[in-house]
Structure 1
Amino acid sequence: MQITKPHAALLASPGMGHLIPVLELGNRLVNHHNLHITVFVVAASDITTEKISQLLDSSPNDHLDVMLLPSVDISGIVDPDTNMVTKIVVTMHESLPALRSAISGMKIRPTALIVDLFGTGAMPIADEFEMLKYVFIASNAWFLATTIYAPFVDKKVLDDEHVDQKKPLKIPGCSSVRFEDTLEAFLDSNDPLYHGYLSVGREISTADGILVNTWEDLEPKSLRALRDGKLLGGVAKAPVYPIGPLARTVGPVSENRVLEWLDMQPSESVIYVSFGSGGTLSSKQMIELAWGLELSQQRFIWVVRPPLENDVSGSFFTVGNGSMGTVDYLPDGFLNRIHNVGLVVPMWAPQAQILEHPSIGAFLSHCGWNSTLESITNGIPMIAWPLYAEQKMNATMLTEELKVSVRSKELPTERIVERQEIEMMVRKVMLDNERLGIKNKVKELKTSALKASSKGGSSYNSLSQLTQDCENRLQCLKVKAQGA
C-alpha cells in the first residue's frame, strides 16, 4: 500500500494490556489527525497474529498497519522466577535489533516513533533514523509524575524513609504516595527491577514529548506539576500531552452467552467482577469472594481463573493452579445456589461490551488503568481491588480523590478480605444510599471524558498540538538539512 499521509510508528510492549491502548492511540491518530500508523508489536504468549486480527477487525482501518516482531528467547538471560516486569524489560531490549531491522527495511520510514513505558530503550533507534521520539504512558499523570521524579529523589529518602520507615513519598505538586500504595520497583534497591525502573524514569524526560492517557479535568493537579518544572525539581523537561481517555473500542461480537444473559437482566442490576488479564486470587480469597457475592443477593458476572496456592491475592500474568474444567475451588453447591442470579465465566469475557451494557450497575475491578477508563467512560461505579503494579495508586485515586469507588479496609494483597466485608461493599455500590453520590460522580466524569476527546475538547486539542509540533519540528529538520 502506498502511504500518502504523514507516517508515525508505535511500539507496544508484550501483553494485551499494553497492546490495546497502543492500538487505540493508533486509531485516534489515523481517524482524527490524518496520520498513517505502523504498530510494531513485541511478541508475547497472549499475543498472536489471530488475536491482533480480531482486534483490528473490531475497528478496521486502512491506514493502520501492524507488524509482529519475531519472538525472542530470554530463558538464558533471566531466571524463570524473575518478576514479570523485569522479563518485559529484557524482552524489549532483546527485540531492539528486530525493530531496527524492520524500520530499516521500510520503503517509507516513519517520521516519528512513539514507544510505551517499557520501550524507552528504543529511543536511540529513533535518533539513528532521525525520527522524532515520544513516550506514551498508558496510565495516569500521577503515575507518570512518580516515575520521572523517583530517579532524582535522594536515595536516603527513597530507601530509608519511604521503604524502611514507611513514610509517604512526597511528589512535589502531586499527592504523596503512601508506602502501602508504592510501586514494587521501589521495595528492594538490590533488585535489578529497582535500577531498571529508575533508568526508565530518567529516559522518559529525554523524549520530544510525553503522551499520557488522562485528561485535563481528571487530573489537573498532577498535570500542572508536570508542566511546572519548579514543582518537580525541573526533571519534567519534555512537553506533556494529556490525550485520554483512550479506552477499548467496542466492536461487533458474535453470539455470546454472557451478553445474552445480560439482555435478560434489569437495568443497572448486575455487578461485573474481573481482575484483568493478569490477576488471580488465592484459594481462600476466592472462597470468600464467592460467599460475599452470594450473601449480597445481587446479580453478578464473575470472570474466574484457577486460584493460586498462596494465602494472599495478587499475581502478575500468572495462571493459577488447577483446571478450568472443574469447580473444586468454589464453595460446595455454589453454582447451584446462584444459577438464577449469577454467571461464572471461565478465563475471559468481552469486557468492553459488558461494561457498556445497560444492565451493568457496578464493576469489582483490579484497577488496571485500561479497566478503570472503560468503567469511567461507561459511567460505572467501582469496587477497587488492586493487586499489583500501580493499581494500588489507582485505587487510592479512585476512592479518595475521584470518589467513584469503594474499597476494603485493608489491601487484598495484605490479608484475606472476608465475605461480610465483600457483601457490604457490593451492597454499598448496588443498593445503599451512598451509591447515589458515587454514581453521580462517575456520570460527571463520563461526560467530562466525552467532552475532552471530542473535537475541540482538551485531549483532542492536545493530540492536535502534538501533531502540529511534530510537523513544525520536521520542517525545521528539513530546513537544517537543506542548509547543510
Structure 2
Amino acid sequence: MDKPHALLVASPGLGHLIPVLELGNRLSSVLNVHINVLAVTSGSSSQTETEAIRAAAASGACKITELPSVDVNHLVEPDATVATKIFVTMRAMKPAAREAVKSMSRKPTVMIVDFFGTGLMSLADEVGMTGKYVYVPSHAWFLAVMVYLPVLDKVVEGEYVDIKEPMKIPGCKPVGPKELMETMLDRSDRQYRECLQGGEEIPTSDGVLVNTWEELQGNTLAALRQDGKLSRVMKVPVYAIGPIVRTNGSVKKPDSIFQWLDQQPERSVVYVCLGSGGTLSLEQTMELACGLELSGQRFLWVLRRPTSYLGASSGDDDDQVCAGLPDGFLDRTSGVGLVVTQWAPQVEILSHGSIGGFLSHCGWSSVLESLTKGVPIVAWPLYAEQWMNATLLTEEIGVAVRTSELPAKEVIGQEEVAVLVRKIVVEEDEEGRKIRAKAEEVKVSSERAWTQGGSSHSSLFEWAKRCHLVS
C-alpha cells in the first residue's frame, strides 16, 4: 500500500525555503509519509537555494521539485518591496504549480503552503486534495497579529506607527510601535495590502501549523483556539508543532572556527550573527566592533557580505567587508575574538560548549536554534517581524536582553553594546543569571515537547489524523 502523500510549497528565499524543507523532513521521519516539496526559487539566489535543496534532497526525506519563479516586474511597481514581490510571485506561480501537481504519479492528500503562499490554496480544491493548510514558521503571536490585522484595518484610524496606546489583540500581548511588522509601517504601501490579504486568507484554510510549542506560548495559543473574539476570527484549528529547526548535520565544519572555539572556556563566547538579509551601516558596524572590544568578552563574529532579503549577495570581497572595521581592531582583539567573513554552520556553533550568548537579528529560525541549545540572546532586530520577536523574547519568555532603540532606526552606541554583551555572559550579573537560567528551562521544555506524548508530538499526530495521513 502506498504511503499517504503530502505536498509542501515553499516561497522563494532561503528564509522561507529552509523552514519548509525542515517541516518536510519532520513529517517524513515522524509520520512516515511521502513528502513532495515544490520549491519556488528566486533567480537572484539560485546558487544558495540550489545548495540547500541539494542538501535536503541528499537526505532522501523529501522529493523536491524546483519551480523557477516567474517574472512579476509587470505586476508590481518599480519600487515594490521584497514582501510584495514574494506575495505576487506566489500567486503568479499557480499555473506552474498546477502542472507540477498534475504530473505527479500520485495525487497528494494534503497541501501545505507557507504564509506567503496562501493565494495558492485554491489549487488544493481544484485537484481534489482533502485538505489545505498553512505553515507559519514563526510564532503564535505573529499568527495572532496576522489574522487579526483585517479587524485592526477597520477599527484603527491613521498609521499604526502613530498610535498612542498599543493595539489590543484579544487574549494576546498588545502590539505597540516597537512591535509592528515591517509590512505594517505604511498602510498606503502595497506590501501592507498584500499582508492584509494574507491575514484574510489564512482562516480559509483547513488549519494552521505553527512553529512554536505549548509550554512556550500557551496563553497565545489558547486565545487562538478558545471561544473568544480572536478564535472567531481564526476559525480553524491551530497546531503547535515546534520547535522545528535544523539539526546538527554532516556539514563540513571549518577547522579555524572550531579549533578556536575548542580553546575557549565554557559558556564564555558571544556568537554574533545578524542573518543574511540585514545590513548594518558603516557607522553601526564600527560601533558594534568597538562595543565588542570594550566589553572585554570573547566573541565569534560572522561578518558576512550584505545580502538582499531573497539572498542575493553583493559584490564585496572579504577584504572590503573587513575594511568596515575600526583600524587595528583585528590585531587588538586577536585571541579574544574571531571574525569570520565566510559561511559558518550556525547550529553547530550554537551547540558548542564555549558559546554563552548569541547577538542575533532575531529571525525566528535563528531564535529557535538558540533556544533549543539553551543559549541566551542579545536581541538586535532589523526587519520583517523581528521587532515582535525581540519583545517576545525579552518581555514574555525572558531569555534575552535588547537594545534601548530599534537598530533599524537608531545607531546603537558601543557603550550599550558592551553592557548588553556583559549582561549575557558575565557570571556575576544578576539579571544575566536569571536570563541564562530561563534559557536552560526553555531548552528542556523544547526537548520535552518532541518526546513521545509531548505537546508538539501529540499535536502533529492530531493534525495528521484529521487530514488522514495516519490512521
TM-score norm. by structure 1 comes to 0.91
Change (3 A) 1:191 1:294: same
Aligned counterpart, 1:447:
444
Q: Which runs of 5+ in 2 are unaligned?
A: none
| Inter-CA distance 71–35: structure 2 relative to 1 (3 Å threshold) | same
User: Is this contact kept in 1: 2:41–2:68, CA < 8 A?
Assistant: yes
Percent identity over the alignment? 51
Amino acid of the residue matched to residue 52 of structure 1? I
1:154 CA drift (Å): 5.0
After superposition, the Cα gap between the structure-2 partners of 1:161 and 1:89, relative to the gap in structure 1 and judged at 3 Å, is: closer
2:326 matched to 1:325?
no
- Is 1:269–1:298's contact at 8 Å kept on the other side of the alignment? yes
CA distance in structure 2 between the aligned counterparts of 1:244 and 1:182, rounded to whole angstroms? 23
Q: CA RMSD in A?
A: 2.1
Amino acid at match of 1:77: L
Match of residue 302 from structure 1: 301
Aligned partner of residue 238 in structure 1, secondary structure: coil
Give the corresponding residue for 2:268.
269
> Post-superposition shift, 1:4?
2.3
Q: Which residue of structure 2 lines up, in the alignment, with residue 433 of structure 1?
A: 430
The aligned residue for residue 189 of structure 2 is: 191
Structure 1 runs, 4 residues or longer, greater than 4 Å off: 314-322
Within 2, Cα distance between the matches of 1:225 and 1:369? 21
Q: CA deviation at 1:205?
A: 0.4
The 3 A distance-change label for structure 1 pair 80 and 252 is farther
Cα contact 1:280–1:318 (8 A) shared by 2: no
1:141-161 per-residue CA deviation (whole Å, 9 max, x = no partner) reads 00001000111225341x437
Contact 2:162 2:177 in 1 (8 A): no
Residue in 2 aligned with 1:95? 93
Conserved 8 A contact 2:118-2:134: yes
Q: Return the match for 2:354 from 329, 336, 359.
A: 359
2:373 is equivalent to residue 378 of structure 1 = yes
CA distance in 2, matches of 1:231, 1:156: 14
Residues 117 and 361 of structure 1, relative CA distance in 2, 3 Å threshold:
same
5 Å-filtered alignment, 1:3-82, equals 4-44=2-42, 45-46=44-45, 47-57=48-58, 60-61=59-60, 63-82=61-80
Question: What is the aligned partner in structure 2 of residue 393 from structure 1?
Answer: 388
Please report how far the alpha carbon of residue 83 of structure 1 lies from its aligned counterpart in structure 2 after TM superposition.
Answer: 1.2
Aligned to 2:126: 128
State how many pairs are aligned. 463
How far off its partner does 1:307 sit?
6.5
Q: Distance in 1 between matches of 2:253 and 2:448?
A: 32
Q: Which residue of 2 aligns with 1:290?
A: 289
Say if 2:80 and 2:190, in contact at 8 Å, map to a contact too: no
For 1:182, the equivalent position in structure 2 comes to 180
Q: Secondary structure at the match of 1:175?
A: coil
- Structure 1 residue 325, shift from structure 2 partner: 2.7
**Where do 5+ consecutive residues of structure 1 fail to align?**
309-313, 476-484
Distance in 1, matches of 2:15 and 2:51, equals 16
Q: Is the 8 A contact 2:10 2:40 kept in 1?
A: yes
Aligned-residue offset at 1:79: 4.3
Amino acid at match of 2:332: R
Q: Which moves more between the two structures, 363-372 or 323-332?
A: 323-332
1:175/1:414 CA distance change after superposition, 3 Å: same
Give the secondary structure class of the aligned counterpart of 1:115. Answer: strand
Equivalent position to 2:458, from 453, 461, 465: 461
- The 1:315/1:64 distance shift into structure 2, 3 A limit, reads closer
Paired letter, 1:417 = I
- For residues 417-468 of structure 1, the C-alpha deviation after alignment (integer angstroms, 9 at most, x for no partner) is 0000100110110102322111110110111010001211010000000110
Q: Distance in 2 between matches of 1:213 and 1:377?
A: 13
AA in 1 matched with 2:336: V
Secondary structure of the equivalent of 1:232?
Answer: helix
| In 1, Cα distance between equivalents of 2:121 and 2:229 | 26
Question: Higher RCO, 1 or 2 (CA under 8 Å, sep at least 6)?
Answer: 2
Q: Distance in 2 between the 1:95 and 1:293 partners?
A: 45
Output the CA distance in 2 between the equivalents of 1:68 and 1:315.
19
Q: Give the direction of change, closer, same or farther, for the CA distance of 1:415–1:50 in structure 2 (3 Å limit).
A: closer
Matches within 5 A, 1:152-167: 152-157=151-156, 159-160=157-158, 162-167=160-165
